Chain A
Amino acid sequence: MARFKGLNYRRPAYLLILMNLFGFGLLFVKNSYDTKMLYVGAGLLGLFLILYTIIVLCRMGDKFIALMACMLITIGVLLLCRIDLSFGIRQIVWVAVGGIAFFVAYLVYYHIRFWDRMWMVYVILGTGLFLATLIFGKTINGARNWIAVGNVTVQPSELTKILYIMFLACYYSKAWDKPLGRITPKWGTLMVTYLFIGFLVLQRDWGTILVLFAIYIFMTYVYEKNYGFLLMNIAAALVVAFLGYRFLYHIQVRVSTWLNPWEDISNTGYQITQSLFAIASGNYFGRGLGNGSPGYIPEVHSDFIFAAVCEEMGVFGGAAIILLFFLIAYRCFKIAILAKDAYDKAVCFGLTLMFAVQTFIIVGGVIKLIPLTGITLPFVSYGGTSIVVNFVSLGIIQAISAKEERHGGEKGGR
Chain B
Amino acid sequence: MADKQEKGYSQKKRMLHILVVVCLMFLSLITYLLYFNMFEAKEVAGNPYNKRQWEDERFVKRGNIYDRDGELLAETVVNGDSRTRRYPKGNLYSHVIGYYSRVYGKSQLEMAYDKELLGQGDITLSFQELRSGYNLNLTIDHDLQQYAYQQLGGRKGAVVALEPQTGKVLAMVSCPDFAPEAAALEKNWNTIVEREDAPLLARATQGLYAPGSTYKIATAAAAYDTGRIAETFEDTGTFTQGGMKVDNYGKKAYGEIGLKRGFELSSNFVFCTLGYELGPDKVKETAEKFGVNKEIPFDISVSRSKIQYKKIEKEDAALVSIGQGQLLMTPLHVAMMGASVANGGKMMRPYLVDTVTTVSGVKLSATKPDVLYQSMTEDCAAYLDDLMQGVVKNGTGSGARISGVTVAGKTGTAENETNKDHAWFVGYAPAEAPSIAVAVLLEYDGGAGGSNAAPIARRVMQKYLNSMR
Contacts and interface: CB of A to CB of B under 8 A. Distances in A.
A binds B: yes
Interface of A: 218, 221-223, 225, 262, 265-266, 273, 276-277, 279-281, 283-284, 293, 296, 310, 315, 318-319, 322-323, 325-326, 329-330, 333, 336-337, 349, 353, 356, 359-360, 363-364, 367-369
B37 A284 contact: yes
Contacts of A284: 37
A276 B47 CA distance: 11
Nearest to B32: A369
Contacts, number: 103
A221 B14 contact: yes
B365 interface: no
A364 B15 contact: no
Contact of B32 (A222, A225, A337, A367): A367
Given A293-B52, A367-B29, A221 B17 contact: yes
Interface string B45-57: 1010111100100
A315 B37 contact: yes
The number of chain B residues touching the other chain, given as a range, is 20 to 34
A239 B22 CA distance: 24
Contacts of A283: 37, 41
- Interface residues of chain B: helix, strand, loop or mixed (majority): helix
A390 to B, nearest CB: 17
14 contacts: A262-B47, A277-B47, A279-B41, A281-B52, A284-B37, A310-B33, A315-B36, A322-B26, A322-B33, A337-B12, A337-B15, A353-B22, A364-B29, A367-B32
A330 B17 CA distance: 13
B41 A222 contact: no
A280 B45 contact: yes
A360 B30 CA distance: 11
Given A223-B11, A329-B22, A360-B29, A273 B37 contact: no
Contacts of B50: 277, 280-281
A365 B10 CA distance: 33
B19 to A, nearest CB: 5
Nearest to B22: A356
Given A315-B34, A326-B23, A363 B41 contact: no
Contact of B26 (A218, A277, A325): A325
A222 B37 contact: no
B15 A222 contact: yes
A274 B55 CA distance: 15
A326 B51 CA distance: 33
Contact of A280 (B11, B15, B34, B36): B36
B328 to A, nearest CB: 29
B51 A319 contact: no
Contact of A293 (B14, B22, B37, B55): B55
A276 B44 CA distance: 7
A293 B45 CA distance: 13
Nearest to B14: A222
Interface string B155-189: 00000000000000000000000000000000000
A363 to B, nearest CB: 5
Contacts of B41: 279-280, 283
Interface in B447-467: none
Given A218-B18, A222-B18, A277-B50, A369 B29 contact: yes
A279 B36 contact: yes
B311 interface: no
A336 B49 contact: no
A157 B10 CA distance: 33
A223 B87 CA distance: 72
Nearest to B13: A222
A76 B24 CA distance: 25
A319 B33 contact: yes
B40 interface: yes
